[in-house]
Amino acid sequence: MTISEFLERVQNAEPLNAFISVDETDIREQAKEQRKGMLGGMYVAIKDNISVLNQPLSCASHILENFVSPYDATAVKKLKYAGAIIAGKTNMDEFAMGSSSEYSHYGPVKNAINPEYVAGGSSGGSAVAVAAGIVDAALGSDTGGSVRQPASYNGILGMKPTYGRVSRYGLVAFASSLDQIGIMSKTVTDSARILEIIAGEDARDATTVPEPVPPFSQNLESQAGDWKIGLPEEYFTEGLSTSVRQAVDTQVATLKDAGATIVPISLPHTEFAIAIYYIITSAEASSNLARYDGVRYGFRHESDDLLEMYNRTRAGGFGTEVKRRIMLGTYVLSSGYYDAYYDKAQRVRRLLQSDFSNAFQSVDAIITPTTPTTAFKRGEKMDDPLAMYLNDIYTVSVNLAGLPAMSLPVGTDEDGLPIGLQIIAPAFKEETIFKIGTLIERLKS
Ligand code: GLN
């Protein structure tokens, strides 16, 4: 697509509120150079919690207003080397906390299929930018489902790589032991190509792993008969809507007819996932977000008294949901409660991880719905944090266990809203996901 086509698309899609910033001059500069490389000329949007040199980085928060990134995130630098055009910064839930992209200082993102509905979150802007055809692909971040859930709500693909696969250097920390940069795209091939580029060990992120990065995009073919796939019984119970269940069942039946072996499995600690996810992520967030005190970055509420300056800056700079997480995190880490909440949650996290390693003794991959329902109406869950949190019921365990997973579109419900199916693989087996994803694409067409 030409630059003018791109800019026209940005303008036409303005009501969706998918972007926080698009720098036309910078895009023209980038396009002037011949974009060579595997991603030559591909337009890729970047979630606004990932650094792009000399571009705003707000995390959709008032507290980072007017902050400009002094460097490129490793993933962004690699995209640029591979010839991609960095096409703007996308709207999101503030500091990636949320499931609807309504908790943004810049206003809510609207669903690409039906603007009355939420975009999903927290990478809602990235999902909508891809689904609405404004860009070819986008980066998001996934701490508990923030790439997969909005991908599912907008009918595109969302890939969350293994923890340690993609460098987090330049990704603003939310919950460091779970955060991972992920990819939103329209095809498995694009997802595989982008992961191939952005993955790999990075001296600037000690949690990246010296695992070789396979040429994922060269290796997409397989037979359904090659795969043994597990269906966890705990993911197909109450709360799962009929239309989502039917779409996933139908897809699984198609794989089975094509020769795949489908087996029921159990992930017995699933019921604790949401509780431990919100304890661990809030604890990590309360510590990570302590740095926003008005001294070093962004917004500052001036006062002669230092403590008052901190207090007012944080009180006025953070939104409601972020404050809720900081308070929750501070509480679970406080003396007297640490053992009862934080320490216990870490122990259960270990059990959850064992559930997956046990399951992967007998299956190559696990299939689940991505979310219990399709997108909900805007405004519907804004004042009900628990209902909002329950959206993540099928996605958070994957982050707690550090595994790779992808959401793929598998049809629509009676209102025409997209449904997502999630494929989960063992650590560093993204290749399995891409191959099964390719089979699903084939079987559909
Ligand atoms: N919705 C989840 C939360 O609010 C997931 C967020 C994310 O993955 N960044 O924590």
What are the boundaries of each domain within the chain? Answer: 1-445
Point out which residues pair with 261 in neighbouring strands.
228
pLDDT digits 0-9 by tens, 45-84: 999 999 999 999 999 999 999 999 999 999 999 999 999 9
Amino acid 16: pLDDT = 98
Amino acid 44: pLDDT = 98
pLDDT digits 0-9 by tens, 381-394: 988 888 888 889 99
Percent share of the chain, pLDDT over 90: 93
**CATH for 1-445, options being 3.40.50.300, 3.40.50.40, 3.40.720.10, 3.90.1300.10:** 3.90.1300.10
With 0-12 / 13-18 / 19 or more C-beta atoms within 10 angstroms meaning exposed / middle / buried, residue 271 is exposed
The pLDDT confidence band at residue 1, using thresholds 50, 70 and 90, is confident
Strand order in the sheet with 157-160: 19-21, 85-90, 43-47, 137-141, 181-185, 157-160, 405-412, 418-424, 365-369, 228-232, 261-265
Residue position matching structure tokens 């403590």: 307
Which residue has a Cα nearest atom 5 of ligand 1? 144
- Given a cut of 90, whether residue 270 has pLDDT beyond it is yes
Ligand 1 pocket mutation, candidates 103, 123, 184, 281, criterion most atoms within 8 A of CB: 281
Distance from Cα 1 to the centre of ligand 1, integer Å: 32
Point out which residues pair with 407 in neighbouring strands.
158, 422
Amino acid 261: pLDDT = 98
Average pLDDT over the chain reads 96
Which residue has a Cα nearest atom 10 of ligand 1? 97
Ligand 1 pocket mutation, candidates 49, 50, 146, criterion most atoms within 8 A of CB: 146
Give CA–CA dist 403/362, Å, rounded. 16
Per the annotation, the verdict on 47 as an active-site residue is yes
Amino acid 387: pLDDT = 85
Give CA–CA dist 127/153, Å, rounded. 9
Instruction: Read off the DSSP letter of residue 1.
Output: -
Q: Check if the beta carbon of residue 134 is closer than 8 Å to that of residue 89.
A: no
Q: How far is CA 286 from CA 101, 212, 360, 388, 445, in A?
A: 20, 34, 34, 20, 47
Distance from Cα 299 to the centre of ligand 1, integer Å: 24
- Identify the residue with better confidence: 335 or 197: 197
Amino acid 391: pLDDT = 87
The pLDDT confidence band at residue 221, using thresholds 50, 70 and 90, is very high
Amino acid 33: pLDDT = 81
Amino acid 133: pLDDT = 98
Over range 197-206, report the average pLDDT. Answer: 98
Distance from Cα 391 to the centre of ligand 1, integer Å: 10
User: Residue 221: helix, strand or coil by DSSP?
Assistant: coil
From 122, 123, 152, 407, the catalytic residue: 122
Which residues does ligand 1 sit against, CB inside 6 Å?
96-99, 122, 141-146, 174, 281, 392
- Given a cut of 90, whether residue 445 has pLDDT beyond it is no
Amino acid 431: pLDDT = 98
pLDDT digits 0-9 by tens, 136-181: 999 999 999 999 999 999 999 999 999 999 999 999 999 999 999 9
- Given a cut of 90, whether residue 12 has pLDDT beyond it is yes
Please report the atom of ligand 1 found closest to the CA of residue 145: 8
pLDDT digits 0-9 by tens, 348-378: 999 999 999 999 999 999 999 999 999 999 9
Over range 26-45, report the average pLDDT. Answer: 90
The pLDDT confidence band at residue 122, using thresholds 50, 70 and 90, is very high
- Given a cut of 90, whether residue 438 has pLDDT beyond it is yes
Per the annotation, the verdict on 122 as an active-site residue is yes
Distance from Cα 37 to the centre of ligand 1, integer Å: 33
Over range 266-272, report the average pLDDT. Answer: 97
Distance from Cα 444 to the centre of ligand 1, integer Å: 30
- Given a cut of 90, whether residue 35 has pLDDT beyond it is no
- Given a cut of 90, whether residue 285 has pLDDT beyond it is yes
Over range 252-276, report the average pLDDT. Answer: 97
The pLDDT confidence band at residue 31, using thresholds 50, 70 and 90, is confident
Amino acid 82: pLDDT = 95
Amino acid 139: pLDDT = 98
Percent share of the chain, pLDDT over 70: 100
- Given a cut of 90, whether residue 250 has pLDDT beyond it is yes
- Given a cut of 90, whether residue 327 has pLDDT beyond it is yes
The pLDDT confidence band at residue 209, using thresholds 50, 70 and 90, is very high
Query: SS in 3 state form for 335-357?
Result: CCCCHHHHHHHHHHHHHHHHHHH
pLDDT digits 0-9 by tens, 79-120: 999 999 999 999 999 999 999 999 999 999 999 999 999 999
Residue position matching structure tokens 């990570």: 288
Over range 396-412, report the average pLDDT. Answer: 98
Please report the atom of ligand 1 found closest to the CA of residue 399: 8
pTM: 0.97
